[in-house]
Amino acid sequence: MLKCANLKHDTLSMRRKKTDSCLGAQGKSVGSEVNLYDCDDKSELQKWECKNETLLALKGQQLYIEVKPDETIALSRTVGSNNDFTITGTSSGACSRTYRDYYTIEGNAFGKICSFPFLYKDRWFGDCTTYDSSTKRQWCAVETKYEHEQWGYCPTACDWANNIVTGAYYQLNTQSVLTWAQADTSCKQQGASLLSLIDLHEQAFVTGKTLWIGLVLDPEHGWQWSDGKPFRYLRWSTGNPLPNPGHNCAFLDSIGQHTWQSSSCVKKLGYICYKDGAPPTPPQIEQGFCSAPWIPYNGHCFHLHRATQTWSDAQRECRKEDGDLVSIRNVEDQSFVISQLGFGTSDELWIGLNDRKTEGLFDWSDHSTVSFTSWEFGKPSVSTDTEDCILIRGENGNWADRSCDEKHGFICMKQSATESTGDEVDVDIGCKAGWKRHGSYCYFVGTETKTFDEAKEDCKTSDSYLADVSNGVDNAFLVSLVGVRPEKYFWLGLSNQKDIDQFVWTNTDSVRFTHWNAEMPGYKKGCVAMTTGILAGLWDLLPCTNQEKYICKHLAEGAVITVAPQTQTPPQCAEGWIRVGTRNMCSKVQPEKTWYEARDYCRAIGGDLLSIHSASELLVGRIEYLLSWIGLHIPDTSTGYTWSDGSPVNFQHWQEGEPNNHNNDESCAEFIIYKSDGAGSWNDVNCDSYNDWLCQIRAGTVEKVTHFLSDIVYYNTTSDGWLVWRGNQYFINTNAMSMEDARHFCQQRHGDLVSVTSKDENLFLWKKISRSYRSYYLGLSVDLDGSFWWMDGSPVALQKWDEDQPNSNAFDENCVFMTYYMGFWRTCNCGQEQQSICKRGNSAPVNTTAAPTVPPKGGCSPKWTKFDSKVRNHLPLENTSLLPLKFSAFLTTKMAESATTDLWIGLNCLKRDGFYWVDGKARQFTNWGHSVSIHNLLAWCLRYYPKIPALPEPAVTNIYVNLGNDSIKVETKNLTWDDAKKQCEDDKANLASLRTEWTHAYVELLAMNLKAPLWIGLNKKQTGGFFRYIDGWHLNAASWAEGEPSRDQPCVYMDVDGKWRTAFCNRTMNSVCMLSTDVPPTESTNFPGICPEQTNVEYQQSYTWLPFKGHCYLFMTEEIEWADAASSCIRHGGILASIEDPDEQQFIKSNLERFQDSHSAFWIGLYKTHKGMITLFEKIFSRKKMYFSCKQTKV
């Protein structure tokens, strides 16, 4: 039996003694042995996928893991009992407990996901570990090889901050940067939830931070707390919540009054987790007695009045009878009110909730604790303060705020009596003792836990059956019956034990209502149980062997079931429509729309999207090919699949492996039929995809004439064909070309390849290309370090990567395209020919072409050979792009001068979809022979030449002056910087590096005496974009003049005042050469030392340093002034960060980008003094408050 430890996306981690290994195959063929190997996340032979709950296959292959008779494991194409794998000690399949992402806490990984397995100190870890932890807290790495030393603590229920007023516990994750959904998952992993704020005490405890809270927009109830706490306290910022599409989450704003702001849920912020203290012991509720016409429930009596009154008058009427307006304390009370008091869908009835005392803080009129709310969508209103009183209305009994002066019916509530008066209402007529009546039926809650089949048999002994549920009111009654019970589940009579596709009740095959929980029912067999607690009333599909309590049901004595009238011959379907199975419905395929557009169109003509409730309704044999929407969808993340027409989900027919919610972006179902598979199957896809769609309408119904708007959205266009959308212009270039050519195409038209900065913009572009079935270049570039940047300079505020993207294993995939399916992004070689999208501002001139760029002219460095605008040299292990035929001939002649005639070039087909140049240039030329042989690894390199003129004749050599280990010579001939460098090199010297005080002083005197500036050995163009001496020495001191160095002038000279200044390198002046016996240090790749694990704890939040090369860094999200930030860094054992080279700049920049949604700027250690040092701020200590980053040397 296979013991599975961890199925992470597509890598199966296994446990073997004290090490962790990964399951891998020897090859991609039948019979290839499957065994345990050291984990390699790049190996295609260690990637697996689930075909069903028990069947594992090599990813992308129809090759399944099979146990052979000799108990070895190999790959097979057959599927049988030897392919079924279960988790040891359970009946669950290997794929039933796949890997869960664990978001790290604290550490230096900014909340990234644990990477399992990970390699640390030559040892593999497949789970969180305390290894090497000084605090003995479990931790994990966030990368497979731990190369960048990024780590974090694993989720924990310990070490939380405590609010002594409320007894609650908090975890402030200020150093994390997660989306709302990721933050929600992180809290739930620790037995907590995102913070819900239901009173002023909690609000005051967490002020001063910009962090996600648990407020989320529910499609039925509007804004709700994700942990189910009541939404009774409002503290929105002015103008919030915004009505913008996609702004479905909220964060706590640290600026101003610490109010709430709505936001897109994909922003990346810190977050607050919250959990209650010890829950109070629930009081023992005596049922009590109620005189007629009051109805008893849970220790109270209830009475519904339909005579209309203002809210105040209604309250007085209730108090006359020793009661008050009803307070609804939980979902069970709510279910009782709408199911057992005679409540009707047209009723509008006052309840006791109001905010008359404190605006925005709702309380019950009887002063009981507000522990439950059930608002209508868009309620309570935030735009008015005149609607202070609450009523209950509608089919589901949701709540709305209205003016207290309006007149409505009302519901009263009072405590039940301890003794009977003899005139109570008998609510359980016709039921045996211990049974409860609802409608025409009696219900009984089983007292012992049993399996589904045992419960079914036990109900039969009392002439009853496991309860069925016909509608929402019946479901609400059951919630009132068991919702407050401590047990988690109660069996109902629904299951799909016989047929995985079809759900049936134990007493009838007719299923008229379902109420699935999130991710239910899934595509597996099981039996249905009702949940209790916060999720009371929702249905879960459980293994039928689980031991749960149960609910029995039978017809009440004396009750009569109304027999449905005999069905007449159903009317015919209209022309072009076909009947749906045996139902009185007709369906018709319509042309392409999104799911929501299709649903709205069907409703506009009097129908809805097709719902399917049995195999007979699958259009078998009627259609040879179909790819169409049906009405199945997930309306929100808190529920399972529902049909858009409100009918029950009692039948399902998913493809193998579906629904899979690919990239967490698929919540609508399509019906697929092929000629070879006439019964078809269902697949979940993104609801904004374009599909044909199946509309249903009742037979005999005349299709309504509608002026429904077409789904085709017409945009304004410019005279040169660009689309206008939200202040920008876009051009869809359907000509396939390389990225470089595509960008040139855009730039010629005053634009650039498109930058996508919002979810709406991505959706807009995807809809424009989705029907083309082609991929389109975006303007996103991927650097070698894996960082991203938009070519037009826009910030990277959105990422929409496809599964397994971006491809960090591909060294030559530096460009990005958008897929036509669902608009996801993928990386590719920049030489691939793709269609593309251009973007420009609205102010761009139209019908004009940008002036071409004139290429620079110049020569080549030593050892390089000039050819046209390229410089070539043959060096080991480098690559080149070979473009024109003339160049090919040139290389052929040069090959004759080499020791071998077999040379590597930069063309490869590593991606197996064609040959591409590794530098991403377009494939404009090939010159294939009959065969290729590869021997010595001698390669041709290519680079664009620097802007240097032709080399001058050698100058007359003067005498070198000895200064310690250095010798200095001045060249009084006016030369460009490059010519001066060459002049020195002719002496086997370099332009001077002023590394010592005496050398600097001597050169300073030379400039003063000559009264002329002197070139020195600094040119940032030749040293990677930052200032370092060209002989390899780093700057250990500098003498910049005020306002220097200039950003766009790369070469440096010593001026006559002893200060360094920058200039363009083609300026001519005297220069200084230097010979030295000192050997410059080599660049180290080994940086010993470690960073502190923990330096300080605030709000139970530890701060951990992030290593980079020889230093450690701490990014602080505390908003303070520069001087305070400098002091804070010292207290933490470091200093405000200095940035010494582009690598360090990029490291800090990439880490700051994680905070871009919440923190716009961070202090660093650069400042201005009275001596005229480099200026960053306007004065020595700016009073502006910002976040900051600290730095210290490894120890």
Asked if pLDDT for residue 697 goes beyond 80, the answer is: yes
Total tally of structural domains belonging to the chain: 9
- Tokens describing residue 574: 């209209």
Which residue, 1058, 1044, 957, 1061, is CA-closest to 1003? 1058
Q: What is the pLDDT of residue 632?
A: 92
Q: Which residues contact 44 (CB under 8 A, 6 or more apart)?
A: 28, 59
Same domain, 985 and 1043: yes
Sign for the CA dihedral angle at 577, 579, 583, 584 comes to positive
Q: What is the pLDDT of residue 1151?
A: 85
- Tokens describing residue 939: 């390669």
For residue 109, tell me if it sits in a domain. no
Q: CB–CB of 272/184 below 8 Å?
A: no
Same domain, 733 and 833: yes
Q: Which residues contact 661 (CB under 8 A, 6 or more apart)?
A: 667, 684
Strand locations in 130-230 (E): 139-141, 151-153, 161-162, 169-178, 193-194, 211-218, 222-225
Q: Which residue has 């669902």 as its token pair?
A: 822
Looking at 803-866, list the stretches that DSSP marks H as alpha helix, in order from N- to C-terminal side: none
Tell me the C-alpha distance between 414 and 404, whole Å: 22
Last residue of a domain, one of 392, 415, 438: 415
DSSP summary character for residue 1032: S
Tell me the C-alpha distance between 1098 and 257, whole Å: 22
Tell me the C-alpha distance between 728 and 1089, whole Å: 50
Amino acid at 884: P
Residue that wins the pLDDT comparison between 915 and 170: 170
Residue that wins the pLDDT comparison between 618 and 448: 448
Asked if pLDDT for residue 167 goes beyond 60, the answer is: yes
Which residue, 907, 904, 860, is CA-closest to 881? 907
Q: CB–CB of 502/496 below 8 Å?
A: yes
Write the DSSP assignment of 988-1021 as a string of letters. Answer: T-EE----SHHHHHHHHHHHHHHTS-EEEEEEGG
For residue 784, tell me if it sits in a domain. yes
List the CATH number of the domain containing 57: 2.80.10.50
Helix (H/G/I), strand (E/B), else coil: 739: helix
What is the residue-averaged pLDDT of the chain? 80
Query: What is the enclosing helix (H) or strand (E) of 766?
Result: helix 759-769
Q: Which residues contact 338 (CB under 8 A, 6 or more apart)?
A: 392, 396, 397, 473, 476
Question: Domain range spanning residue 460?
Answer: 451-555
pLDDT digits 0-9 by tens, 31-66: 899 988 877 777 888 888 877 677 788 887 888 888
| CA of residue 1138 relative to chain centroid, distance | 32
pLDDT digits 0-9 by tens, 880-929: 443 444 454 445 444 444 555 566 777 776 654 567 777 667 766 565 55
- Tokens describing residue 685: 């896809």
How large a percentage of the chain has pLDDT more than 90? 27
pLDDT digits 0-9 by tens, 1022-1059: 888 888 899 888 887 788 888 888 888 999 999 988 88
Q: What is the pLDDT of residue 840?
A: 93
- Tokens describing residue 862: 């030593």
Q: Which residue has 């002026």 as its token pair?
A: 707
List the CATH number of the domain containing 992: 3.10.100.10
Asked if pLDDT for residue 97 goes beyond 70, the answer is: no
Is pTM beyond 0.85 here?
no
Tell me the C-alpha distance between 359 and 380, whole Å: 11
For residue 103, tell me if it sits in a domain. no
Q: What is the pLDDT of residue 1049?
A: 92
Helix (H/G/I), strand (E/B), else coil: 903: coil
Same domain, 301 and 389: yes
Last residue of a domain, one of 778, 808, 841: 841
Last residue of a domain, one of 944, 973, 1006: 944
Tell me the C-alpha distance between 131 and 151, whole Å: 13
Residue that wins the pLDDT comparison between 631 and 951: 631
Q: Which residue has 């020897």 as its token pair?
A: 26
- Tokens describing residue 759: 């979810």
Q: What is the pLDDT of residue 320?
A: 95
Alpha carbon separation from 299 to 289, 292, 333, 437, 992 (Å, rounded): 8, 15, 11, 18, 93
Asked if pLDDT for residue 948 goes beyond 50, the answer is: no
Same domain, 1055 and 1021: yes
* Poorest-pLDDT segment among 554-558, 684-688, 886-890: 886-890
Residue that wins the pLDDT comparison between 707 and 915: 915
For residue 422, tell me if it sits in a domain. no
Looking at 103-249, list the stretches that DSSP marks H as alpha helix, in order from N- to C-terminal side: 180-188, 200-205
Same domain, 756 and 796: yes
Tell me the C-alpha distance between 105 and 173, whole Å: 7
Asked if pLDDT for residue 547 goes beyond 70, the answer is: yes
Q: What is the pLDDT of residue 945?
A: 38
For residue 243, tell me if it sits in a domain. yes
For residue 434, tell me if it sits in a domain. no
| The pairing of beta strand 489-495 with beta strand 752-753 | unpaired
Same domain, 778 and 826: yes
Across 651-673, b (16+ Cβ under 10 Å) vs e yields: bbbbbeebbeebeeebbbbbbbb
- Tokens describing residue 584: 């009185």
Same domain, 731 and 681: no
Asked if pLDDT for residue 934 goes beyond 50, the answer is: no
Asked if pLDDT for residue 213 goes beyond 90, the answer is: yes
- Tokens describing residue 1116: 């602080």
pLDDT digits 0-9 by tens, 253-302: 866 567 889 988 888 889 999 888 766 665 566 678 899 899 988 889 99
Asked if pLDDT for residue 714 goes beyond 80, the answer is: no
pLDDT digits 0-9 by tens, 1166-1178: 776 544 444 333 2
Q: What is the pLDDT of residue 657?
A: 77
Amino acid at 974: N
- Provide the pLDDT confidence category of residue 970 given band limits of 50, 70 and 90: very high
Tell me the average pLDDT across 833-851: 78
Tell me the average pLDDT across 7-13: 46
Tell me the average pLDDT across 618-641: 77
pLDDT digits 0-9 by tens, 390-421: 999 988 899 999 999 999 999 999 999 988 88
Same domain, 502 and 605: no
For residue 902, tell me if it sits in a domain. yes
For residue 152, tell me if it sits in a domain. no
Same domain, 825 and 732: yes
Residue that wins the pLDDT comparison between 771 and 1109: 1109
How large a percentage of the chain has pLDDT more than 70? 80
Tell me the average pLDDT across 1181-1192: 53
Same domain, 1104 and 1188: yes
Same domain, 300 and 264: no
pLDDT digits 0-9 by tens, 1011-1031: 899 999 999 888 888 888 998
- Provide the pLDDT confidence category of residue 455 given band limits of 50, 70 and 90: very high
Residue that wins the pLDDT comparison between 1107 and 847: 1107
Same domain, 897 and 924: yes
Q: CB–CB of 520/540 below 8 Å?
A: yes
pLDDT digits 0-9 by tens, 971-1016: 989 999 999 999 999 999 999 999 887 788 888 888 888 889 999 9
Q: What is the pLDDT of residue 943?
A: 40
